[in-house]
Amino acid sequence: MAIFGFLLSAILYYSAISKARAVISRTNRGVVLFIDGYFSEISNTITMLDEIKEIKDAMALDEENRQHILASYRSFSKANKNITYIYSGYENGLMLINDYTPPEGFDPTTRPWYRAAMAIKPETSIGLPYQEIKSKEWLVSTSRVLKQSGGGYGGVVAIDCSIDQVVHLLAQHDEYKTEFSFVVDRSGKIIIHPDQSLLGKSLPEITKAFQQDSQGDFTYRLDNVEDVAHYSRSTVTGWTVVTVVEKREILRPIITQVLFLIGLTGIIAVFLGLVQSILLSRRLSRPLVELGKKIKATIAGNEPDIEEYVYPNNEIGSMAWEIGQLAKKELNAKARELQESEETYKTILMASPDDITIADLSGRIIMVSEAAHRIFDYPPGEGPGMSVMDFIVPEDHERAQANIMKMLHENYPGPNEYRALRKDGSRLDIEVNNSLIRDRQGNPVRMVLIVRDITSRKKAEQQIQELVHQLEIERDLAQSNSLTDSLTGLSNRRFFDNAFRTEFARHKRSGSQLSLIMLDVDHFKKYNDHYGHLEGDACLRQIAHTLQTVVERAPDILARYGGEEFVLILPDTDSQGAAALARRIGESVRRLALPHAKSDTAEFVTISLGIASAADHVLTDGAQLVALADRALYHAKMNGRNRFEILPASI
């Protein structure tokens, strides 16, 4: 049947393809002849117009002579019904055309038909398709340059003709419904096609097939549809006409015929097979069938009635009887071995402290060990027939399914931890290790799940984690207290010393700007003596809060240096930037308006500030910059307090 089907298909295939190529070749020749005749007349007409002196020299003529030209255009249009427009454009912007008013600013020299003619002068340009703006009709422009009487090319005469007749001819089909033709210009762009959305487009799948010869056959695939095509070129226009038909339409009748004949052959073969089966079954097939039944019954543990079938007295009958006896003996021995092995494995399963569950690949439980009843609180006998998912909380189902798939496809054994359910609905934590039971071919047939109750272990782990977390909190708190001033909540002197060493080292390494501001409260001892130490502490806390509000940049470091004295580390800040910040700090403290009855400077609490910038001095260590800032603070106090001073450079 295979050989018959192959030969028949090959014969019908080549016959149908040959017929299809002949049909589309005939259609293609008809289209080419029509296009040659259609455009030969247009080409001859435009050549005649090129010879008329008035049309060549229209730029130098008056309006009356130009009307004569338009009258000539009307005469030519009436003589040839295929002509839609005759017009001429000139290099000075003049446009001569009947029954059409060009828009304002219209320049014919910029139009495609003008440029096309100029590009191939003095030859005629044929085949420039475009869609007329008003009527939406598709036209083809044929144009030719006009050589002026005095020499040179000063304009172009053009004829637009309707391609409706050509399109109608292209869309017609002969014997195939999918047959149609289209036209491609010399550059490979489609200029005439029944589907107007393809006009102007280039199809490399098609054009590369006919780059050499002027005509021929080829096949191509476009949008997953294979087409059989024939092409030839027009001698008048130089266009290529392509006629195509879908290959599946050609092959559809072939497939129908082949299927019919193969089906008929198959019916005959089945009939002959039935006849052969009936003739040979009693002598050859029946003994083997009965042998198979006997072996299956022996495997299932059923003793068949040996008198039910008597083997025939021939070679097949004797062989079947001998095989049956041997199979019965071997199967009985294997059954005894399996029974002993099963008892051994069952003893091991029941002695395990962990639950050992055997399930099929869908998760349906086949057998559980005795530990399962203790872990999940189910009575003996329950479990087989249930799904392994029945023992896992719903929130863990998706993860459990993913782990089972991972075991099946990647042989992943685990362990995996889940939250499980007892029969009464209470929860416990379990750990599951997986394995697969495979057949002789290595295909998985069963899952083995070893389940351990880890509830006590999880509680112990949680207690350890909580203890570690508490120790980390106490450690962080102790570390924070060691670096924080307890009165103001600012960084303390210890934190300042560590941070300042880091920033000064960065300044020395990269040459970056670094400034320091030291400040203290004016006459703070008098404030404490007058208002008391509790009010003094409150005053320092308010000033510290104000400093935190004013100092907004993340890199800046604010610390309590000692007593009523504070310090600011200002990375990437020069003396001018530090002065601007000091001014804002002083104004913010004054806005607090904290009364200070014993101050010799003002009636409110004020501060004095000293500024030093590392870039203004030659320094070898950070202690020198601290001393310079302290010196600037001293100058601020000596100059009347409630102010800031910048230590000048090189001092």
**Residues with catalytic function:** 564
- Distant-in-sequence, close-in-space partners of 360: CB < 8 Å, separation ≥ 6: 366, 445, 446, 447
Whole-angstrom Cα distance, residue 119 to residue 85?
A: 22
386: left (phi over 0), alpha (psi -120 to 50) or beta: beta
Neighbours of 128 (CB within 10 A): 20
Under 8 Å between Cβ of 157 and 88:
yes
- Phi and psi torsions of 642, nearest 5°: 50, 45
Q: Which two tokens stand for residue 618?
A: 């030659």
Under 8 Å between Cβ of 610 and 644:
yes
Smallest CA-to-CA distance from 628 within 517, 504, 488, 531 is with 517
Smallest CA-to-CA distance from 544 within 628, 488, 608 is with 488
Beta strands in 324-462 (DSSP E): 355-359, 365-368, 416-421, 427-438, 444-453
Q: Which two tokens stand for residue 491?
A: 């960084």
Q: What is the four-CA torsion angle of 631, 632, 638, 639, rounded to 10 degrees? A: 160
Whole-angstrom Cα distance, residue 89 to residue 480?
A: 91
Smallest CA-to-CA distance from 194 within 239, 229, 160, 163 is with 163
Under 8 Å between Cβ of 633 and 561:
no
| 451, β-bridge pairs | 355, 432
Q: Which two tokens stand for residue 120?
A: 């191939």
Host H or E run for residue 588:
helix 575-592
Whether omega for the bond prior to residue 287 falls within 30 degrees of 0, making it cis, is no
Whole-angstrom Cα distance, residue 484 to residue 170?
A: 92
Q: What is the four-CA torsion angle of 138, 140, 145, 146, rounded to 10 degrees? A: -70
- Distant-in-sequence, close-in-space partners of 584: CB < 8 Å, separation ≥ 6: 550
Host H or E run for residue 155:
strand 153-162
| 520, β-bridge pairs | 565, 608
Rg for the chain, CA atoms, rounded: 52
